[in-house]
Structure 1
Amino acid sequence: MISDLERPEIAVILASRFYFPPDTIRREVSEALEERYKGFLDEIKKILDPLSSEAGFSYHYVSSSIDAIDVLKKTQNAIGYLVFAFEHPTGYLRSIMRSGKPTIVIAYTYVGAGELLQSYSIASSEGYPVLGVAVRDVTNPERIKRYVRYLSALYRLRDSKVVVIVSPIVKQYLEVGYPLAVNVYRIIPDIQKTFGVKVLSMDVNAFRRKYYDEIPEDSAKHIASKWFKEAKDVIRHSEDELIKPAKLYLAFRKLVHDLKLDAIAIDCITLYHAGFIDTWPCLAFMELTKEGVICGCEGDLYSIIAMLIMKYLVNLPGFINDPSPDMDSGEIVYYHCFAPVNFYGFDKKELLPYTITPAHWDTKKLSIRVEFPTDIIATSLGVDARNRAILIHTTRILRNELGPEECSTKVVGAVNVDNILERWDPEAGWHRVLFYGDHREDLKNFAKLLGLKIVEEDH
């Protein structure tokens, strides 16, 4: 978890023929070009300077691959490079793109596009984390701010810290490579290698002893009362039944504070049915999400990564769900027993109404049914760290569905279900995470900077 005082360093590289040695044979420098270039430079700095609270910027100037190599040596602590290309091919971009650092290039159509064309496809095919555009409008402020946000989000993602609460046996599988636990123990190394996120595991017995059992019921009653009063409806639950989830919320909250966590996950289904925990985390997760903490059901670390990405990119919470197609109607039912009531954004005051209700054919209590907005576009995101891929589709939310079937929150969306069936990646698991709005392009760009394969499940 980074403090407000910590900022990523972004190296801004400006490539121009103005930095050629004086004896260069073909410099083609004129007053008109110099005036245009200086105007670009002034505008770029004017756009970046107000973003200094988000990132620190250092400026570097190159004209050749030799210059570029010198800059790379000086900027080893940078999170990545933001390159403005105002020069024809001299090889400078190949050197920068092959540095291994996330590199974003904005090339000027008239003087710079050639270098991008000669470098980008090679670096991309070799798996380097690169993103590039060639445009006339090189100082478009929205584009520059968006690219800075990408690099800042990468920094925050790699500095994130997650804990997953599991049974004692699973904890051993996660930390030691037992042969019978291949799919379990490889998850944490894959996540840390691909995304840089630090993942800790915690024995549920230690969590109960140090946190949950230490919370007095009296201190949780006001939380239970708040939920009981603010819910749109409470179906077959007493206020006293909400005390244990309220205790769990306070225990999670202290754990997050003590370990300075960005996210928390718990293997809730296994732990509840095996008797390790005596309540469900749905209400606790709802409250923590309102406070900006990323929460994952069923110990799902891949969904945690998806939600961290979207928090840092666009400041949105996500709805972990089990996508279940109806191929007759061309719909997917996205269902689960917890959903964020602050679906519109961590910084938004508007909250969705929720009902506290039984679920799973009336066999599970303490679930919440959140009423989602309809006739909106939402983005579904999945993560496959093993194969270094992200999985994207968009859906138009049609309605909320009520019924005893499986989970309490059921959101119905229209999507190309035939393509999704064909392109589904089992390695990413069944879960996907749903976010408000269409974020396909931002996610595709961000994936390139992480060196990830992009799977558009609906295309």
Structure 2
Amino acid sequence: MSLNAVSAAVAASIVMLGHLFCQGVAAAEPAGNDRALDVVRKLRATRIISIQDYDKINAIDQEGMAGVWSNSPVNDYDRTYRDRLKEYLGVELILVRSPELLSEMAAVAEEDAGRLADLWIREATEVKTVTRPDIVRAARLYFGFKRLLKKYDAAAITYDSATLSLQPRVVKAWTPLAILELSKEQIPCCCQSHVDCLITQVIGSYLTDGRQGFVGDVLNDWAFPPIGERPRDVIVIGHCGAPITPVANKRIPYLIRDHIHSDKPGFGPDDMPTATTVFWPADEPVSVVKFDVHRRKVSIFGGTALDGEVLYDDFANCICRNKLVVRIAKPAGCYLLPSDPKEGAFRNWWGSWGCHQVVFYGDLSPALRELAGLTGFEVVSNL
């Protein structure tokens, strides 16, 4: 069955979920100053994990892929980041190397990995291109993450898939299904060791009692051929993994498929990277957020989630497997706009905010501003 057919098959349930979802967004909006104070206290007892085999921090956002693949030297940003994170927010960052992850994965019982893989297969609206053994490997990675989270008493985790799963292939598993499963447990997770994004996810989750943010590249909307007139004032956030609980305790449908990197040399029918595609509710308010810990800033932009399937041709198969189209409410005040048709599919600005953002359903601006005031973060916003 094609993705378009699947979209049609689940349309009715998505409409129903949309009504429930809208109620959930309204009910889960964070409340005032007391909540922000509670979150500040909670952050000061929070540990997060980044699984990476190098000492640079936020390497891709700061330097692009050269930051992880070209032996880029450790600089002042990297040396001071963990201390700043602890000073500004009270959060401890733990770096874990791949041998420790592999050891935890090896301790996972095959029966447990198989049971979780079968659960995902049953839950999914469709499984295409990938096989059960591919999905079992992803389940083993999930359990490896869980063991590390318990070992370090950590609240969230990120993993550098670029250097550990793609090049070189140290770990033969991919993060999207682990991201999905952890989102059911209100545990923030993202790939590529995006620590600023992970911190943003944690704060959004704490402020909303568990709402999970979607981390992704800011893709160039010009890379997507429009079905009709090209939408204006939009950004497209894309990654191959996404949460299915953008409102706590309300799950959205998903399918399981091949990862964007499945066409890279070395992968084939017996070893296919796994990804997901989730079905985002459209016409809902969203917040596009990014904490820049090193500069002690947070950016907050409001907008509306749109249905990319009705806006762009072959949207599901273009670039990343999960994509969320957001129409920015006040584009003149947003540094993410305008886009440039000559820039390429991945909008490649590095340093400062980097090329990744986090999208939350609902209006988080008031709560984020409260928290920023309590922690000394400068707010950059169009709201």
Please state which band the TM-score falls in when normalised by the shorter chain: 0.7 to 0.9
Of the three residues 129, 148, 151, the one matched with 1:255 is 148
Aligned to 1:450: 375
Q: Helix, strand or coil for the counterpart of 2:140?
A: helix
Which one-letter code corresponds to 2:51 in the other structure? Answer: I
Aligned to 1:321: 216
- Within the alignment, does 1:353 sit opposite 2:253 as a pair? yes
Tell me how far apart the structure 2 counterparts of residues 310 and 261 of structure 1 sit (CA, whole Å): 16
Give the direction of change, closer, same or farther, for the CA distance of 1:361–1:304 in structure 2 (3 Å limit). closer
Write the deviation string for residues 6-31 of structure 1: whole angstroms up to 9, x where unpaired: xxxxxxxxxxxxxxxxxxxxxxxxxx
Q: CA deviation at 1:206?
A: 1.9
Give the direction of change, closer, same or farther, for the CA distance of 1:161–1:247 in structure 2 (3 Å limit). same
Aligned to 1:30: none
Tell me how far apart the structure 2 counterparts of residues 179 and 360 of structure 1 sit (CA, whole Å): 25
Q: Helix, strand or coil for the counterpart of 2:289?
A: strand
Aligned to 2:307: 399
Aligned to 2:234: 331
Aligned to 2:323: 410
Give the direction of change, closer, same or farther, for the CA distance of 1:422–1:162 in structure 2 (3 Å limit). closer
- Within the alignment, does 1:383 sit opposite 2:291 as a pair? yes
Aligned to 1:181: 74
Which one-letter code corresponds to 2:196 in the other structure? Answer: Y
Which one-letter code corresponds to 1:301 in the other structure? Answer: V
Contact 1:377 1:438 in 2 (8 A): yes
Q: CA deviation at 1:259?
A: 1.6
Give the direction of change, closer, same or farther, for the CA distance of 1:245–1:146 in structure 2 (3 Å limit). same
Aligned to 1:125: none
Aligned to 2:50: 164
Aligned to 1:420: 334
Write the deviation string for residues 120-140 of structure 1: whole angstroms up to 9, x where unpaired: xxxxxxxxxxxxxxxxxxxxx
Q: CA deviation at 1:331?
A: 1.3
Give the direction of change, closer, same or farther, for the CA distance of 1:145–1:218 in structure 2 (3 Å limit). closer
Give the direction of change, closer, same or farther, for the CA distance of 1:452–1:168 in structure 2 (3 Å limit). closer
Tell me how far apart the structure 2 counterparts of residues 396 and 158 of structure 1 sit (CA, whole Å): 32
Which one-letter code corresponds to 1:389 in the other structure? Answer: K
Of the three residues 361, 376, 381, the one matched with 1:436 is 361
Which one-letter code corresponds to 1:339 in the other structure? Answer: A
Q: Helix, strand or coil for the counterpart of 2:154?
A: coil
Write the deviation string for residues 28-49 of structure 1: whole angstroms up to 9, x where unpaired: xxxxxxxxxxxxxxxxxxxxxx
1:64-213 map, 5 Å: 146-167=32-53, 180-182=73-75, 183-209=77-103, 211-213=104-106
Which one-letter code corresponds to 1:188 in the other structure? Answer: R
Tell me how far apart the structure 2 counterparts of residues 145 and 283 of structure 1 sit (CA, whole Å): 31
Contact 1:359 1:404 in 2 (8 A): no
Q: Helix, strand or coil for the counterpart of 2:215?
A: strand
Q: CA deviation at 1:418?
A: 5.2
Contact 1:265 1:304 in 2 (8 A): yes
Which one-letter code corresponds to 2:145 in the other structure? Answer: F
1:18-97 map, 5 Å: none
Which one-letter code corresponds to 2:321 in the other structure? Answer: S
Q: Helix, strand or coil for the counterpart of 1:323?
A: strand
Q: Helix, strand or coil for the counterpart of 2:246?
A: coil
Tell me how far apart the structure 2 counterparts of residues 392 and 271 of structure 1 sit (CA, whole Å): 31
Q: CA deviation at 1:153?
A: 0.7
Larger radius of gyration: 1
Gaps of 5+ in 2: 1-29, 60-70, 223-229, 264-271, 310-314, 338-348
Aligned to 2:281: 373
Ranked by relative contact order (alpha carbons within 8 Å, sequence separation 6 or more), the top structure is: 2
Contact 2:289 2:301 in 1 (8 A): yes
Contact 1:332 1:413 in 2 (8 A): yes
Give the direction of change, closer, same or farther, for the CA distance of 1:242–1:425 in structure 2 (3 Å limit). closer
Which one-letter code corresponds to 1:441 in the other structure? Answer: P
Tell me how far apart the structure 2 counterparts of residues 225 and 422 of structure 1 sit (CA, whole Å): 40
Which one-letter code corresponds to 1:214 in the other structure? Answer: A
Q: CA deviation at 1:189?
A: 2.1
Q: Helix, strand or coil for the counterpart of 2:352?
A: helix
Q: Helix, strand or coil for the counterpart of 1:403?
A: helix
Aligned to 2:163: 270
Contact 1:361 1:404 in 2 (8 A): no
- Within the alignment, does 1:288 sit opposite 2:188 as a pair? no
Q: CA deviation at 1:425?
A: 8.6
Gaps of 5+ in 1: 1-143
Contact 1:168 1:204 in 2 (8 A): no
Q: Helix, strand or coil for the counterpart of 2:49?
A: strand
Contact 2:141 2:175 in 1 (8 A): yes
Tell me how far apart the structure 2 counterparts of residues 425 and 377 of structure 1 sit (CA, whole Å): 28
Q: CA deviation at 1:419?
A: 3.9
Q: CA deviation at 1:365?
A: 2.8
Of the three residues 136, 144, 148, the one matched with 1:243 is 136
Identical positions, percent: 24
In angstroms, what is the RMSD of aligned CA positions? 2.5
Contact 2:190 2:198 in 1 (8 A): yes
Tell me how far apart the structure 2 counterparts of residues 227 and 388 of structure 1 sit (CA, whole Å): 39
Contact 2:218 2:235 in 1 (8 A): yes
